[in-house]
Amino acid sequence: MGKHVLVIEDEPNIIEAISFILMRDGWTVDTHSNGHDALDAVAARAPDLVILDVMLPGRSGYDILTDLRAAPETRDLPVLMLTARGQAKDRELAERLGASRFMTKPFSNAEVLDALRALVPS
Amino acid sequence: MASLNVLIVVCLLYVALLFAVAFMAERAALMGQGGWLRSPVVYTLSLSIYCTAWTFYGAVGYAARSGLEYLTIYIGPTLVMVGWWWGLRKLVRIGRTQRITSVADLISSRYGKSNTLAVFVTALAVIGTTPYIALQLQSVTLSFASFASADPNSSVPADSRSTALWVAVGLALFTILFGTRNLDANERHHGVVMAIALEAVVKLFALLAVGVFVVWGVGGGIGETLARIDTSEIGEWQMNGGRWAGLTMLSAAAFLTLPRMFQVLVVENEDEQHLRTASWAFPTYLMLMSLFVVPIAVVGLEVLPAGSNPDQFVLTVPLSQGQDKLAMLSFLGGFSSATSMVIVAAIALSTMVSNHVVMPIWLRLAGGGAAMAGDVRHVVLVARRVSIAVILVLGYLYYRVSGGGTALAAIGLVSFAGVAQFLPALMGGIFWRGATRVGALAGLSMGFVIWCYSLLLPSFGEGILMSEALMTQGPWGIAWLRPQALFGISGMDPLVHAVLWSLLLNTSAFILGSLASFPHPLERLQGAQFVNVFDHSGNPQSWSGGIAQSEDLMIMAQRMMGAAQAQALFQAEAARQGLGGYLPEPTPEFLQRLERELSGSVGAATAHAMVSQIMGAATVSVEDLLAVADETAQMMEYSSQLEAKSAELTRTAGQLREANEKLTQLSVQKDAFLSQISHELRTPMTSIRAFSEILRDAPDLSAQELSKYASIIHDEALRLTRLLDDLLDLSVLESGQVSLNMRDGVLSGVIDHAVAAAGVEGAGLIIRRDRLRENVPLHTDLDRLAQVFINLIANAQKYCDAPVPVLSIEVSRRGDDLVVDFVDNGTGIPSQAQALVFEKFSRVSDGQAGGAGLGLAICREIMMRLGGAITYLPGQGGAAFRLSLPARVALAAQ
């Protein structure tokens, strides 16, 4: 069984694309599509890695990341942040809040896989 | 032999003559024919009240007792008139420009209009003058007595007390009649001045006549008389240098500070130029008055029995020689001297008492409301009259109490020394700007105390008011406080001692007090005006009244109010007075009005000061005033410019701040918009890229997968296109560059088209309509209106969460507006989000419905372009939007 990744993203087509790519690469993929209970989802699924969208309905990805970094269990959890708002200040904010990796949409599938492999060495 | 009855008749006739002269002078002055009243000769003669009965009779007595020392009494004033006429001119100028009414007024006015000082000076003047008045009464009484004793028909000696009383009453009547006749602001009394001028002539003529008689009738010619003088004791009198200097100085000081002298010198002065004449004429008068004093004294001592009162020689020498008519003339001379002094002194003192004591008290008691002109005038007159009566009563009482003894002889000099205490405050006041009220009060108090202690009280004689022990050993045995040997300096003449110490300590206290205190603003202002009176005032003679004043006023007003306004004011007033042109008479009403107008620009006080300066013979020159006015005008202009500039700056700053805020807001909005656009564009592109890479990189996809992913790419591409279309559309609408395609149509047709375009048929959304109501003709851009309808139907389709979604389209008329409501049966939009639904990229629901959030923003823009509006209609159950179109759109087609 491969490493376990949780994708928190609200756009169905993007969820489908990421799931397809990761599963083909041998990852176990869970998805979650809103910000409200994203933290619960992380706690319940206990993934090896999280792919986190910034603009989520209910709660912003930045807020979720802040909470993840504040909790001892998830302080070191690798988080790859994805955002469609590709400005420099978004990247800075993400890095300051402790994102392991930050990628702007649209992304290259290969890059995402490379990044994930780098974050979670098998 | 001389008849007492004849004397009384002559005396009464003389008094009647004085009344007549005074009356005629008053009438002439009243009728404006008083030119001859204002001659320098009259002024000079009026100064002769310096020569009282004390001088007329007493000088001979003085000479008989002390030799030539009597001359000091004449030398002092002579020195002042000849050597110090420029100082007198300054005093007179100040008196005129400041409208000074008395020496008390001058001192109080100079030191910040201090009434304390005025009261103090008044008290001192009354105390100093009362004995002097008693002296005059005594001399008249004595001369009566001399006549009575020489009259064999008069078996009963004249009652000296009743004589004094009748004289006092008569003088009081005369003074009241002519001294309080008019209440002129300048306090000038033409009748009185004329009467005393006549008396001056009479007394000089009388003394000269007696002198001529004595030298040529008794003495046997000039040579003989000189020989007699040489052999008499008088020729051998030693001159006491200190006493001479002291007395000369004292008489000079008294000449300036005696209330009656101040009255005739300054207050009654008509023209400064008269001083020029008086400066030589008055010393000449004094010289003539003193010319025969020594011969009369010498001859008197020779021809009259030993023990005769030398004070009566002027009268008794002619009497003893059987010259009744000459004696009578001599009597009239003495009578003139006494009466003129008493009259002027009473006027001067009553002015001081009423102005500085009675009026302040009355005004305080009566309160502010009583300051009615008529009221005050009446009260002032009554106060003057009562004061005159009281002063004469005081003089009479003093005469009675002191017993008319020889002690009175020294009283003249005691009085001189008393009023001489005004000198430091007076001189300092007009020559030293640093002099202050505190200094003046300190000096006057000090001088007064020393004068009382070392001269006045001892003058009553040892053991009367001051015990013998106190005089010889000092109070409580302190030797250096002995009244006539202060600070251990004994052996001096008591008078010189008192004058020296009182004036020395007075001056020292005055200077120290002035240096140690800081003057009030009013004091400083007055000080400057007094000391620099010649800088500030033009020659009063060159100053003409009436129209010239009006012109000055107008020049000033123009600078203060602006030319047009001032000219209008002056012209209107001139017209009101029945005059042409711009220069009205400066009537009190007009001045008040002008003051009110001016006070608008400079404040009431300044306006009052300026107007009264111009009207009041200008203590500040017109040029100075105009400079102030110019300055004010410039300052006002400058300040209004500054104000305008400041307002402009504030406005500009406000605009800039607003613009800046707008820009900041725009910048924030632009950032947010770009961020939103980026998000909206990148999201579909992410799917497209991800799936196209999958299609490219995964060769093993099933046909189902291939088809699905290709569809996703296709849908997302369409979504992108829609988004771009919306963005462009919104941009065009917002920029106002949209061109509307106005056509005629019917509302129902537009809705039909929208429903069809939204693809509702068979999609689950039920639409309820009332076609009858929709039958409204329109003239508008039908496509744009349809676009709005499509958006609203699509929204209902996307967001209505009811199990059986229903959209009702209701058409109605509200006033002139055509109203179309779109109401669905879903949960609607939360109230906090209702305000935002029309903003770009605002998404209310969390759910993903594919829209970029531009639809309602576009709807709002379209409705605005069509002249209508779209609003959210709360409280309808579900989401409800109301469109309204103006009547002209709906009615245009009809």
Is B356 in the same domain as B445?
A: no
Cα-atom radius of gyration of chain A, to the nearest Å? 13
Sequence-distant (6+) residues with CB within 8 A of B85 are: B275, B276, B278, B279
Distance CA A117, CA B453 (A): 123
Distance from CA of A13 to the nearest CA of B (A): 6
Domain count, chain B: 5
> Among positive and negative, which fits the CA dihedral B864, B868, B874, B878?
negative
**Do the beta carbons of residue B10 and residue B162 sit within 8 Å?**
no
Average pLDDT (B159-182) is 73
Confidence of residue B184 (pLDDT cuts 50, 70, 90): low
Distance from CA of A48 to the nearest CA of B (A): 23
**pLDDT for B211-252, tens place per residue?**
888 888 777 777 777 777 777 766 566 666 777 888 888 888
Q: Is the pLDDT of residue B6 over 50?
A: yes
- Domains of chain A with CATH codes: 4-115 (3.40.50.2300)
**Do the beta carbons of residue B694 and residue B701 sit within 8 Å?**
yes
* Closest partner CB to B694 (pick from A12, A85, A109): A109
* Closest partner CB to B689 (pick from A34, A58, A106): A106
Closest CA to A75 of A84, A62, A66, A87: A66
Distance from CA of A104 to the nearest CA of B (A): 9
Q: Do A105 and B685 touch (CB under 8 A)?
A: yes
Is B163 in the same domain as B306?
A: yes
Confidence of residue A4 (pLDDT cuts 50, 70, 90): very high
Distance CA B305, CA B301 (A): 8
Is B296 in the same domain as B366?
A: yes
A86 contacts chain B (CB < 8 A): yes
**Do the beta carbons of residue A100 and residue A52 sit within 8 Å?**
no
**Do the beta carbons of residue B317 and residue B232 sit within 8 Å?**
no
Element (H, E) at B777: strand B777-781
- Which chain A residue has the Cα nearest residue B678? A85
What ipTM does this complex have?
0.94
Note the pLDDT of residue B852: 59
Q: Estimate to the nearest angstrom the gap between the alpha carbon of B515 and the chain centroid.
A: 26
Q: Do B686 and A14 touch (CB under 8 A)?
A: yes
Taking the CA atoms of residue B224, residue B225, residue B227 and residue B228 in that order, the dihedral angle to the nearest 10 degrees is 120
Within a domain: B635: no
Sequence-distant (6+) residues with CB within 8 A of B820 are: B747, B809, B810, B811, B882, B883, B884, B885
Q: Do B694 and A105 touch (CB under 8 A)?
A: no
Within a domain: B613: yes
Burial grade of B80 (CB within 10 A; 0-12, 13-18, 19 or more)? buried
- Which chain B residue has the Cα nearest residue A20? B694
Confidence of residue B371 (pLDDT cuts 50, 70, 90): very low
Average pLDDT (B456-473) is 65
Is B277 in the same domain as B288?
A: yes
Is B524 in the same domain as B575?
A: no
Strand-pair category, B880-885 with B817-824: antiparallel
* Closest partner CB to A11 (pick from B681, B683, B689): B683
Is B181 in the same domain as B48?
A: yes
* Closest partner CB to A13 (pick from B687, B693, B847): B687
**pLDDT for B743-799, tens place per residue?**
888 899 999 999 888 877 666 888 888 888 888 888 889 899 999 999 899 888 888
Q: Which of these ranges, A118-122, B87-91, B180-184, has the smallest mean pLDDT?
A: B180-184
Of B706, B727, B748, the residue that ends a domain is B727
Angle between helices B40-47 and B274-291 (to 10 degrees): 50
CATH number at residue B301: 1.20.1730.10
Note the pLDDT of residue B29: 73
Element (H, E) at A49: strand A49-53
Q: Which of these ranges, B469-473, B589-593, B676-680, B801-805, has the smallest mean pLDDT?
A: B469-473
Is B459 in the same domain as B362?
A: no
Within a domain: B113: yes
Is B302 in the same domain as B352?
A: yes
3-state SS class at B272? coil
Distance CA B261, CA B49 (A): 7
**pLDDT for B468-511, tens place per residue?**
666 666 666 666 666 666 666 666 677 788 888 888 888 999 88
Distance CA B697, CA A21 (A): 10
Distance CA B298, CA B288 (A): 18
Q: Is the pLDDT of residue B653 over 70?
A: yes
Is B376 in the same domain as B449?
A: no
Which of A61-65, B76-80, B290-294, B495-499 holds the top average pLDDT?
A: A61-65
Distance from CA of B797 to the nearest CA of A (A): 20
Is B606 in the same domain as B684?
A: no
Neighbours of B476 (CB within 10 A): 7
CATH number at residue B817: 3.30.565.10
Note the pLDDT of residue A62: 92
Mean model confidence pLDDT for chain B:
78
Q: Which domain holds residue B593?
A: 543-620
State the DSSP code for B453: I
State the DSSP code for B460: T
- Which chain A residue has the Cα nearest residue B686? A106
CATH number at residue B682: 1.10.287.130
Q: Is the pLDDT of residue A79 over 90?
A: yes
Is B321 in the same domain as B283?
A: yes
Average pLDDT (B70-86) is 83
Is B280 in the same domain as B301?
A: yes
State the DSSP code for B454: I
Instruction: Please give the share of chain B, as a percent, with pLDDT higher than 70.
Output: 79
